[in-house]
Amino acid sequence: MPSSRSARMKQSPPPAQQTPRWHAATRWVRCMACRCRKDIINTAGIRTTWGSRTMANNVPDADAVAVKRLKDAGAIIIGKTMTSEFAHKLLTDAPLFGATRNPWGLDFTPGGSSGGSAVAVAAGLGPLSLATDAGASTRLPAACTATVGMKPTLGVIPHNQVPDGFNNFIHLGVMARTVRDAALMLDVVGGPHQADPHSIGVAPVGAVAGINGIVKGLRIAWRPLVGNTLLDDEVRKACEASLETFRSVGCTVDVIDEAVENAEPAWRILQQSNWAARFYARVDEVAPQLDESFVEGIRAGGGYSGQQLLQATYKRTQHFRMVQGWFAKYDLVLTPTMSRPPLSVDHKALDPITIGGKDAGDMRQSWVPYLNMFDLTGHPAISVPCGWNKEGLPIGLQIVGPWYADAKVLMAAAAFEMAQPWAGRIAPHAPAR
């Protein structure tokens, strides 16, 4: 996990943020001041490499909006955390720094692309980390490392680094050991900003205030499959045991087994087109320095037609309308975070995977169909630990809500944590043990 210069900046918050919610959250942030930042999020004066040899000497002039808000709240940056190159894959290894290992089992990946953020939190190097999530990158590493990872509603945390603010589906995410800590961080970094059109007019989440709400009576849908056909038996068992936890606190839980179209094909076109728009013109020049799976994605993106790209945006809209329709009957949706436990640390991004001993094919389609769906639709989603398999590897449960129901998602996660706590179990390879 790469690190860089520590920095502390205690500046006056902008007047628009001087609210009781902001002041309460910032007091907590100052008490838990050490923060990590994924190495694709801009930090003024601190090297931000994107895990790439092509960006090895990149030092941004300005902080990302979310970073500045954390600094204004008194946060200390203790390091930049490892990411796959340009955050392009579900694993955390990159040409510039090598591989990041899972503290629950050193032979396994922590997931990606925010694996360094997840490991830093799981290993006790810092209580919180700022991550990103375009297709899984906050929630998958959280599930792989028994931490909390939340992707809020699109725009709740403004993202001023994306080149396309309007068609964007790249979220900023928060990672922590507990739901309350994640809520505290969200209250500080959330809120409108002129650089992100999805954030304009968005009301404060009130995350910390919301986590103490009453969950009794919530209507919950359990969807074990979301466009996939295979689910590991131990993952299913742990997640379905969690359903009883929700029932025990007064929620109703229905099992929904209807077929859902996998979101990955549309996601693939949109994301690879994004990579191609940024890198295709010089891919031959830089390919020798890049991860081969990233190069393949760039080249694929350069081959799509304008019609294919627009058809993928149409499909994204269809996915949104379908998911939003689920909440006409239910308050929340539960899914596994991933269909199988963490992969081997040396697994290659382009290689197929197995689930329960069966060939499952493409990694994104079969391992995380539960995640890229909600990146495309923009719905708030959080991954929380719900158990461990026989090898001692973590299993994650995902809680999803309608747009702007971030506080309700956190409330349900906090109730689950209270009934089935996890923070006292420390990873065996954490240096903080």
* Residue-wise DSSP of 239-278: HHHHHHHHHHTT-EEEE-------SHHHHHHHHHHHHHHH
Question: Can you point out the beta strands (E) in 32-72?
Answer: 34-38
Closest CA to 50 of 109, 95, 4: 95
Is 358 annotated in the active site? Answer: no
Closest CA to 199 of 29, 69, 75: 69
Residue 39 contacts residue 59 (beta carbons within 8 Å): no
Give me the amino acid identity at 93: D
Is 113 annotated in the active site? Answer: yes
3-state secondary structure at position 317: helix
Cα-Cα-Cα-Cα dihedral sign, residues 377, 170, 363, 231: negative
Residue 40 contacts residue 66 (beta carbons within 8 Å): no
**Angstrom distance (rounded) from CA 335 to CA 371:** 9
Active-site annotation holder among 4, 38, 129, 273: 38
- Cross-strand pairs, 372: none
Active-site annotation holder among 4, 113, 114, 339: 113
Is 151 annotated in the active site? Answer: no
Question: Can you point out the beta strands (E) in 63-120?
Answer: 76-81, 93-94, 98-99
Active-site annotation holder among 52, 114, 137, 199: 137
Q: What angle do CA 119, 31, 179 make, to 5 degrees?
A: 50
Give me the amino acid identity at 182: A
Give me the amino acid identity at 2: P
Give me the amino acid identity at 48: T
Catalytic residues: 38, 113, 137
